[in-house]
Structure 1
Amino acid sequence: MLPWIQLDRATIPGALPGEEGELRLKQRGQEFSIMLGTNELMNSRLSGSEEALATLAHEKIGKRSKPSMLIGGLGMGFTLRAALAVLPEDAQVTVAELVPAVVDWARGPMAPVFKGCLDDPRVTIFEGDVSELIRSSTGAFDAILLDVDNGPDGLTRASNDRLYNMGGLYAARSALRPGGVLAVWSSGPDAGFTRRLKEVGFQADVVNTRANGKRGAKHVIWLAAKG
C-alpha cells in the first residue's frame, strides 16, 4: 500500500489555548486527507453525506428566484459541487472558509477533486469566520449549510460552540429569509441540539445518511426550517 505523504500544514486562525491549532493535508496516490491532530476531518473518498447536506437543503427550500446559499466550511468541495449541480443559474453561493490555506489547497494539489467549482460565476469565497458573517447578515440567505466541525458539540474548536448555542441559532434564524433552512452536518446524533433548534423556533427534522452512498459511517443532518 502506498504511504501517506504530508503535502502542507496550516495554522487555524483564532485557535484557543489547548486546542489543536494546525491542519495537515496528506496524500496517498489519488486520495487526500485533511487532519487535525489525530482526527481525520475529511477524506476525498468519502463524500456522500456532505453532498446530501446540499441536496437535502435545496429540496427543502424548493424552487426560488435567485436563491442565496451560504456554505460554512469549504472542506474538499463536495457540498459546494453538489449545491452547484442543483441550484439555478441565477443562484448566489457564498463559501465561508476560516483557513486561507484550504482555499489554496483547493486551487493547488486538490484541484482534481474540486474540478473547477471555485471558478463558477455563482461562487464567492469569504475568508473568515462563518459565525461572524451570519451575525452580520439579516434576511440574506435562503439556506445556511454548516459543516465546520464534527457536529454541534464543537469537537475540533471550542469557539465553534457559538454557532450551535442558543445565540448562534437565533443569529442563523435572523440571517435566513422566510421559509429558509439551516442545514447542519454531524458525525453523530445530538438530542440536545434538536431541542435547541425547536426552542429557537425552527421546525427541525433529523435525517440519517451515510458517508459513502449506502455504505460507510452513519452521519446526521439537521434540516431546520424557518417558519
Structure 2
Amino acid sequence: MAIPYDIPDAPEVLDRREGPYGEVVLRRHGELLQIIANGCFLMDTSDGRSERLLVDAARDALDDRPAPALLIGGLGVGFSLAHAAADPRWGAVTVVERERAVIDWHLNGPLAAVSGPALADPRTKIVEADLLDFVNETCATFDAVCLDIDNGPDWTVTEGNDSLYSVSGLSGCARVLRPGGALAVWSARPSPEFEGTLGNAGFQRVRTEEIPVARGVPDVVHLAVRPG
C-alpha cells in the first residue's frame, strides 16, 4: 500500500464523488490505479502483498475447520477479495464496503480487472454498509475477520472510524466471530497501544507480524483470536 515512486506524469482523475463520509477519488497514475479519500492516499494497485498476507495470516491463525467463512472490512482496490477467492479453502467471502463509489468501480469500472473473477465466484458477497454497523446488527457469524479499512488503528481515514479500533468496536468484531475465530488488522505502522486494546476487548494470542516494505517503517498485521 506504499505510495509508488518515480512514476511519470501527473495522476489522471477517473472519477470523483462526494459520499456520505466525504470525497472519494479514483485516479490513474501511469499504470497504477489509486484510491484517495478526503485527500488521504489509501491504496493503489502497485503490489497487493500486504493484502494477501493479511488474508493468509487470518487463515493460518485458524484451526483446521472445514470451509471457514471470511469477513473482509473494506473492498479497496480488491486485492484482499481476489486473493481470498483464489483460495479454495475459504468456504465463503463477505466484503463490507461503505462507499458506493468503490463498489461501482469494481462492478462497472477499471477495478473490475482486479476483482472480476472474485465477484463472479458464488462464494463472494458484497455488502454496502459501514462495518461497525454491520457487525453490531448482523446475525451472521464468521471464522475470520480482516480489517483493511484505514491506514491503521492510529491513522484513520475519518474521525468516526476511531471507534472501530476501540474496545467497544473490537467487541463488535468479536461478536461476529465464532469461537476460536481470528481477527487480522492491517496497519501502516506498528501500534503497541492497539495490542493492549485487543486484549482488553477479550481477544487472546495477540501478536503483530511485520511486512517489510521498500522504504520506511514496515507495515504490520495485528492478529488476535477469540477465545474458544
Same fold (TM over 0.5): yes
CA distance in 2, matches of 1:179, 1:139: 16
Aligned residues: 217
Q: Aligned residue for 1:8?
A: 15
Cα displacement string for residues 205-227 of structure 1 (whole angstroms, at most 9, x for unaligned residues): 1111135xxx3552111111111
Alignment of 1:26-105 (within 5 A): 26-88=27-89, 91-105=91-105
Alignment of 1:1-227 (within 5 A): 1-13=8-20, 15=21, 21-88=22-89, 91-107=91-107, 108-137=109-138, 140-203=141-204, 204-211=206-213, 215-217=214-216, 218-227=218-227
Cα displacement string for residues 115-160 of structure 1 (whole angstroms, at most 9, x for unaligned residues): 4211111000000111111112467010011111111125211111
CA distance in 2, matches of 1:181, 1:160: 21
Q: Aligned residue for 1:18?
A: none
Could you tell which deviates more after superposition, 102-111 or 29-38?
29-38
Counterpart AA for 1:184? V
After TM superposition, the score normalised by the length of structure 2 is 0.88
Could you tell which deviates more after superposition, 161-170 or 61-70?
61-70
Give the 3-state SS of the residue equivalent to 1:197 in structure 2. Answer: helix
Cα displacement string for residues 37-95 of structure 1 (whole angstroms, at most 9, x for unaligned residues): 44210010031111110011111114322311110000011111121222426x11110
Structure 2, unpaired ranges of 5+: 1-7
The structural deviation recorded for 1:36 is: 2.3
Q: Compute the RMSD of aligned alpha carbons.
A: 1.8
Counterpart AA for 1:95? V
Could you tell which deviates more after superposition, 92-101 or 128-137?
128-137
After TM superposition, the score normalised by the length of structure 1 is 0.89
CA distance in 1, matches of 2:145, 2:174: 9
- 1:138–1:182 Cα change, 3 Å: farther
Give the 3-state SS of the residue equivalent to 2:212 in structure 1. Answer: strand
CA distance in 1, matches of 2:128, 2:40: 23
Higher relative contact order (CA 8 A, sep 6+): 1
